[in-house]
Amino acid sequence: MVTESSLDSLAVASSAIITGDTNQPLRAEIRRAAQLARDSEDHARARQHPKGKYTARERLDLLFDSNTFVEVGRFAGGNINEGVAGSAVVTGFGMIRGRKVGVYAQDFSVRGGTMGEAEGTKICHLLDMAMDLKVPVIALIDSGGARIQEGVAALTQYGRIFKKTCEASGFIPQISLILGPCAGGAVYCPALTDMIVMTKENSYMFVTGPDVVKAATGEHISMDELGGGYVHNVKSGVAHYLGEDEADAIDYVRAVMAYLPNNCDEQPPQYAYSNGHAEDDAAKRISTIVPDNDRQPYDVVDVIHCLVDYGEFLEVHELFAPSVVVGFACIKGQSVGIVANQPAVRAGILDVDASEKLARFVRLCDAFNVPVITLVDVPGYKPGSDQEHAGIIRRGAKVIYAYANAQVPMITVILRKAFGGAYIVMGSKSMGADFNFAWPNSQIAVLGATGAVNIIHRKELRKARDNGENVEEVRARLVAEYEQSTVNANLSLEMGEIDAMIDPGQTREAIEESLVLLKNKSVSRAHHRRHGNQPL
């Protein structure tokens, strides 16, 4: 945590810069600045700790490797002679696992962390520096919003930050930690970044607060119910992780950074790894997880644990749209993004929320050179008027756009079934996947066997019923014939839509070999364009 000695070092460092000699006595002005910094941190602790919150600088101590944070513009926006230590935001750079990362952390103990001209200038300068250095940016949000006293000048700063964030999007990773209130137009600062992390308590995001909602609609609602961490992780999908507390949320961000490169021109970190008995045991276990009965559920996360290094899987968006699973892992030391249907939740079906969750994650991986591994066990799209009215056509098209435009290595494994349009969009060969594999008992078809037989042989089934035959026996025979001739993966194998039929125990090996072959994959575009018009 921030200590007196660390603040004293500020005075020593500042004196060295001014005099060029660390042996020179400290000037009174430098001592005053150091004392002001200490008093400011004491004030921050007194304000934040009773609320169960860390100060801005304590949060940075948790985020960065020990003694690596270098602050930029410590007293910018302040007035040392009048006892004002600085603005309501801390900016600078530090190391996360030895890699440089930029940060801006709003300080709620200073004017409620509100945004004014000084704060906006510091944040924009930090973003410019991060883009020049080609390093990620993490934002720690804890703010009362725009500073009313500065009027339009304060609002203008949000516009500047929005534009800078958009400039950095897809160029450097950007992650937002919501550790306090974030309301009004301020919510779009984190909304434009790659990931948002919230906590169970003290973490709020909303465009209009409870008081405004009550005045406008008469609805009585608490801050938690309107825009708390649980709401945005489970219902809206705005947030990607719900931390137990600030320390857990910060630790999650550190973990995410382990899988992402510094920028879009670099490859993700590569880690030393050697296969051993653990991989052999996992290969044997994987075939016991997935039932032969395609209607019997199982947890696909168990399959993922068997495929990845050390069984470690960092799930993203875990609480939102749980019929699909997305997250980061390593295979033979290489960072990968994993997308999988979750048969344990609504049979792994695709709906509007699952489609957006899946598409967003594939786009994130593609932006930062992370290969995409897709594990397919999907019965199709969720039917119903609610889905049609919610825009399954428009929102489902985002999955197609994400896969079709992805340039990273893409490897798909069909575990059990892949039916209809859902088969096409889930990383099929026709969508641009580089390698497609299927397990021996997998089923690939327009419809499942039973549904197809009910349509194709409806006259025959009706005739059997009229003749007094056992309709279920006739249907079972027809289903078996359809599965033998059409639903099995042989047809896709013969057409080249599946590259190989593999045993479950060979899955990791097949993925490893594919990643090696695709290591230097490059994609050239047939034509130049400003950008595509993605369905939104």
For residues 101 and 172, give the distance between their C-alpha atoms in angstroms, rounded to a whole number.
10
Of the listed 209, 391, 420, 421, which one is catalytic?
A: 421
Which residue bears the tokens 């004030």?
A: 43
For residues 203 and 190, give the distance between their C-alpha atoms in angstroms, rounded to a whole number.
13
pLDDT in the model for residue 24: 58
For residues 56 and 329, give the distance between their C-alpha atoms in angstroms, rounded to a whole number.
30
pLDDT in the model for residue 332: 96
Reply yes or no on whether 112 is catalytic.
Answer: no
For residues 217 and 379, give the distance between their C-alpha atoms in angstroms, rounded to a whole number.
41
Angle at 285 between CA 284 and CA 291, to 5 degrees: 115
Q: How many CA atoms lie within 13 A of 502 on its CB side?
A: 21
For residues 491 and 475, give the distance between their C-alpha atoms in angstroms, rounded to a whole number.
23
Q: Which residues, other chains included, contact 381 with Cβ-Cβ below 8 Å and sequence gap of 6+?
A: 349, 350, 351, 387, 392, 396, 420, 421, 422
Query: Which residues lie across from 413 on neighbouring strands?
Result: 375, 437
Q: Which two tokens stand for residue 450?
A: 């039973």
Q: Which residues, other chains included, contact 72 with Cβ-Cβ below 8 Å and sequence gap of 6+?
A: 91, 92, 93, 122, 125, 126, 129
Distance of CA 325 to the CA centre of its chain: 11
Of the listed 185, 432, 451, 505, which one is catalytic?
A: 185
The answer to whether 142 and 180 are in contact (CB under 8 A) is yes
pLDDT in the model for residue 378: 96
What are residue 105's phi and psi, to 5 degrees? Answer: -125, 115
**Cα Rg, the chain, nearest whole Å:** 27
Structure letter (DSSP) for residue 169: T
Reply yes or no on whether 327 is catalytic.
Answer: no
Of the listed 184, 228, 348, 448, which one is catalytic?
A: 184
pLDDT in the model for residue 26: 59
CATH topology of domain 277-448+487-518: 2-enoyl-CoA Hydratase; Chain A, domain 1 (3.90.226)
CATH code for the structural domain at 27-258: 3.90.226.10
| 27-258 shares its CATH topology with 277-448+487-518 | yes
pTM: 0.90
Reply yes or no on whether 510 is catalytic.
Answer: no
Q: Where are the domains of the chain?
A: 27-258, 277-448+487-518
pLDDT in the model for residue 488: 67
Q: Which two tokens stand for residue 49?
A: 């700790």
pLDDT in the model for residue 526: 74
The pLDDT averaged over each successive group of 10 residues in the chain (536 residues) is 47 42 62 75 88 94 97 84 82 97 95 93 97 98 92 94 98 98 95 98 95 94 96 98 98 98 96 91 93 92 97 98 98 98 97 98 98 96 94 96 97 94 94 95 78 80 84 81 71 81 96 96 81 90
Of the listed 422, 433, 449, 489, which one is catalytic?
A: 422
Beta carbons within 10 angstroms of residue 473's beta carbon: 10
Distance of CA 404 to the CA centre of its chain: 20
pLDDT in the model for residue 218: 94
pLDDT in the model for residue 23: 58
Helices (H), 246-391: 246-257, 277-286, 300-307, 352-367, 385-389
Helices (H), 169-205: 188-191
Residues written for the chain: 536
